[in-house]
Structure 1
C-alpha cells in the first residue's frame, strides 16, 4: 500500500504543469502571467492538499517551503527599493525547486508591497498637506512675487541699474527651481524631513541676514543665494508630497496650495508699505522673518509624506526625455517662465516711469498687491476646471491669453488702463504658475518618480527665471525700453504655448485620444 502511494506520488511529481489550462486545474498557475493577491491565495488554498502529498525527490531530501522567506524579503523591506518584478530563486543542489505557485505568489507579494496604494483624494490628512503646501508657497513664491517692492527700493538704495538689481530676485527664483533636482530625489529616497528642516533653517538665516545687508553683493548672497537654496529645499519636496495625496482632485489641491503665492504677495508688500516708513528697512525685514518662522513651524509639525521611500534610482531619470510629451512639456514650461515674471519684477517701476501721470511709490505698490491678490482667482478656477478636462488642456489657452495680454500692454499709458490690465494679467499669470506643477503630475504615471521628474523640469525652468528678468532689464536700459522688453516677454510665452500644443498632440497620438481628451 505504501509502495503504491509512493509510486502515485512519483507520477504526480513527473507530470508537467499546464501552461494555460488553469480553468480545469485551478490549483496550478502560469508563472508567465500576472495574478492578483486574492487569486493566488485562492489557488493556494485549493491546491494545498495536492502539494502536501508530494513525495521527496529521488535526487535528495525534500525541501521545506521558502514562501515565507520570499514574502519577508520582498514585502517587508518597507522601502520599495527594487524595480524588478521577479524575485530570483537560488538553486540548492540536491533539493526540490520551489513550485510555480510559490514563485507567482512571491512575485505578487513583491509587487503589492512596492506599488503605492491609491491616493486618499481627500480627508483630514490630505487637506492638511494642502495647508502645508499653502504655507510653504506663501513663504517662497509669496516672497518671490513681492520682489517688485524690493526692486524699486534697491535701485534707489544701491544706485544700481534695474538689470543689476533684478539678478538678486532672479538668483532666488533660479535656485528655488534648480535645487529641486537634488531635493526631489532626496524626497523619493525618504529624506523629506531632513530636507524640510534644512530649508526652514536656511530660511531663518537668510531672511535675518537680509535685514543687515547694506551693499549689493551682500543682498546677492543673502537674498539671492541663501534664500534661494532655502526655497528650493521647501518648494519642490512639498509639491511632490502633496501630489501623492490626490488623484481626481489633484489640480484643485495644487491650486489651493498655490494660492499661498497670492497670500504672500498680499501680506509681504503690505508689511513693507506700512512698516518701512515707520521702523526702517532692517526691522521691516525682521518682522517678515518672524511671520515666516511662525508659519514654517506649523508646517513642520503637519507635514507627512505618504509614499514609501524608493532608495534605488538615479538622480536624473534620463529616460523621461525619451517620452516626447515630457520633453515638449519641459520646453514649453521653460519659455512660459522666461517671460511670465517680467510683470512681477517691473510693473511697479513701469508705473512710476512710463505712465502719464506717473504713480507714486505707494500707488505702484498697490498695483503689485492687486497683481498678486487677483491671482487667487487664477489659481483656483483654472485648476478646478483642470480636474475635469485635464491640466494641459487648460494650460494651453491660459498661456495664449497671457501672451496676448503682454502684447496688449504696449498700448497702455494711463493709470486706469494699468489697473485693468493688472487684473486680467494677474489671473492668467497665476494660472500658468499653478497649472505648471499640476500638468506635470498628470504626465507622471508612477508617483514614486514624481519627485525626480518634477525636480528635472524645475531645473530646466530655473534657467528661464534666472535669465528672463535680467534680459528684460537690459532691454529696458537700451533704446527699445519697455516696449522691447514687453515684446520679448510676450514672444517667449507664445513660443512656450506652441511647445505645450506639441506635448498635447504627442500624448493624443500615444493614447488614441481626440482633441477633447482629458490630458
Structure 2
C-alpha cells in the first residue's frame, strides 16, 4: 500500500517549469509511515530524471582534472611572485616601495574578481571552454610582458591587472561545472581540484628560484608564460558542461538573490574568510624572518603552508561530504581563529612557525573549494553561475585590500613581535568567518524545516521567507536530516 501511494504521488503531480525541464513535486508529509532517509532523498526520489546528477563519469573527472591543473599552473604559479619580489627588492629593480609590491600582489589576487559577474555573462554568450583559453592568454601576456618591464607602472599593468583578470577568468567557469557532475561527492571533487594550488605553490617556489639562478628573472617569467598557455589550452579542450540538462542562468546580476538574507550572510562569511586567508598567506614568510631567521628558512614556512593545502583540501572535502560544507566551514574557521591567537601571536621559534604554517594551510583555504558547494545550497544549481559571479566580486575586493592591510599593521622592523597586530587581525577575521558560517547554517536548517526538506539543487525554495526567530532558534542545532 505504501509503495502504491508513493508511486501514485510521483506519477500524478507532473508539472512543466519555465526552464523546459519536466519535474515532479510531492509533499514529504504525504508519505505514510516512515519518511525516506537522507540517503534516499535524491534527485530520483523527486522524479527529476533530466536533473539527476551522475556523480562522476569520465567527463566529470576530466573537469576535476582540469580544475586541478588550472589551479596548479595559475594559482600555484602566481605564488612565485614572492620569488620575483625577493629578487626585485634585492636588486632594487623598480626603485619601488614595499607598499607598491603589496598592492601589485593584491591586484593580481583580486582585481579580476571584482568584475566576476561580467565573466559569468561572458561564459553565457561564449562558452566555458573559450573563457578558460582566454584566461590562459591573459596570463601569458601578463607574464611574458613582465619579463621586459623596466618601470613599476608596467609591473602594475602586467603582473597586477592583466594577471588578475587572467586568474579570475580561469576561476569563473570550471568550479561551477563540477557541481553539475557530482552530488554525493561534490565537496571532495571540488576540494581535490582546488588542492592543485598547494602543489603548484611548492613546485613553482622551488623551480622558479632555480631558473632565476641559472638564467635570470626574465627567462623565468617567459618559461612560466609558455607553461600557463599550454596547460590552459589543453584544459579548455577537456571540460564539458551539462548545461543542456541544468539550464543555468548567466545573468551578470540578480537583485533578488543579491539582497536576500542568506546571500548577504554568505558574502560576510566570504569577506572575512578572504581577509584572514590572504593576510595570513602573504605574511607567513616575513613573519618567520621577523623572528630573526633567514629568508630561506622563512620561505620554508610558505612551502609548508602549501603542503598543508595539498593534504588538507581533499581531506576537508571528505569531511564536508559527510557533515555538509557550511557545518564544516563553521568548525574550521573557529579553529583557525584559535590557532592565530594560540600559536601565531606567541610564536618565538622556528618549529612553532613551521607547525602553524602547515596546520593553517591545511584548513584556511577550505572556502576556495567549498564555495561552489555552498552556493547551490542557497540558490540551487540553475542560479549557481549568477550567484557565484556576484560572490566572487566580494572575494576579489577582499583579496585586493588584504595584503595592504597586513603590511600596514606591522610594527617597526626591530620588534620580534612585529606581526602581532597582523595575527590578531587574521584571528578576529577567522572568528567572524566562523560566526557568519554558523548563522548561515542556522538559516538553512530553518528553511529546510519550513519547506519540508526539498532537494536544494532544484532551487524551488529560493524565495522562502524564514523568520529570524527560527534562525536564532537553530543556531546551535546539532543534528539535522539533511547535510548543511
TM-score where L is the length of structure 1: 0.74
Residue 468 (structure 1) aligns with: 402
Instruction: State yes or no: 1:175 paired with 2:111.
Output: yes
Tell me what 1:381 maps to.
Answer: 315
User: Following the alignment from structure 2 to structure 1, what is the Cα–Cα distance between the partners of residues 274 and 170?
Assistant: 20
Q: 2:196 aligns to what?
A: 260
Cα pair 1:262 1:375 within 8 Å, conserved: yes
Q: What does residue 271 of structure 1 align with?
A: 207
1:329 corresponds to 2:259: no
Q: Deviations over 1:311-351 (max 9, x none)?
A: 97642111113442222111111011011112321222222
Give deviations 1:57-111, integer Å, cap 9, x for gaps: xxxxxxxxxxxxxxxxx9xxxxx867999xxxxxxxxxxxxxxxxxxxxxxxxxx
Q: CA deviation at 1:153?
A: 3.3
Cα displacement (A) at 1:363: 2.8
Counterpart secondary structure, 2:176? helix
**Offset, 1:443:** 2.9
Matched residue, 2:455: none
Q: 1:194 to 1:211 in 2, by over 3 A?
A: same
Which residue in the other structure is 1:16 paired with?
none
Contact 2:308/2:360 (CA < 8 Å) preserved in 1? no
CA contact (8 A) 1:148 1:344 kept: no
Query: How far is the alpha carbon of 1:438 from its aligned partner?
Result: 2.7
Contact in 2 for aligned 1:396/1:497 (Cα 8 Å): yes
Pair 1:443 & 2:378 matched: yes
Q: How does 1:151-190 map to 2 (within 5 A)?
A: 151-156=85-90, 157=92, 158-189=94-125
Distance between the aligned counterparts of 1:377 and 1:224, measured in 2?
29
Q: 1:515 pairs with 474, 478, 482, which one?
A: 478
2:232 aligns with: 296
Question: Aligned pair in 2 of structure 1 residues 436, 147: CA closer, same or farther (>3 Å)?
Answer: farther
Instruction: Provide the rounded CA distance (Å) in 1 between the counterparts of 2:50 and 2:137.
Output: 31
Equivalences for residues 459-498 of structure 1 within 5 A: 459-476=393-410, 481-498=418-435
Match of 2:214, SS state, is: helix
Report if aligned partners of 1:152, 1:349 keep a CA contact under 8 Å in 2. no
Q: Show CA shifts across 1:1-27 (max 9, x none).
A: xxxxxxxxxxxxxxxxxxxxxxxxx9x
Give the corresponding residue for 1:390.
324
SS in 2 for 1:120: coil
Structure-2 residue corresponding to 1:5: none
Query: 8 Å contact 2:199–2:307 — kept in the other structure?
Result: yes
Where do 5+ consecutive residues of structure 1 fail to align?
1-25, 27-32, 38-73, 75-79, 86-113
Tell me the residue number matched to 1:454: 388
Change (3 A) 1:115 1:170: farther
Q: What displacement does 1:376 show?
A: 1.3
1:450-498: per-residue Cα shift (whole Å, max 9, x none)?
A: 1111111110121111111101111226698421122112111211221
More displaced stretch, 179-188 vs 216-225: 179-188
What is the Cα-based RMSD across aligned positions, in Å?
A: 2.8
Q: State the distance in 1 between where 2:448 and 2:228 align.
A: 44
Q: Distance in 2 between matches of 1:507 and 1:119?
A: 21
Is this contact kept in 1: 2:252–2:389, CA < 8 A? no
Query: Is the aligned partner of 1:35 residue 2:34?
Result: no
Q: Evaluate the alpha carbon distance shift between residue 115 and residue 505 of structure 1 in structure 2; reply closer, same or farther with a 3 A threshold.
A: same
Match of 1:210 among 146, 150, 160: 146
Q: 1:144 to 1:491 in 2, by over 3 A?
A: farther
Tell me if structure 2 keeps the 8 A contact 1:195–1:233: yes
Contact kept in structure 1, 2:123 and 2:250, CA below 8 Å: no
How many residues are aligned here?
A: 417
Residue 442 of structure 1: how far off its partner (Å) = 3.3
Tell me if the contact between 1:317 and 1:452 (Cα under 8 Å) persists in the aligned partners: yes
Alpha-carbon distance, 1:383 to partner: 0.8
Counterpart position of 1:196: 132
1:188, distance to aligned residue in structure 2 (A): 4.1
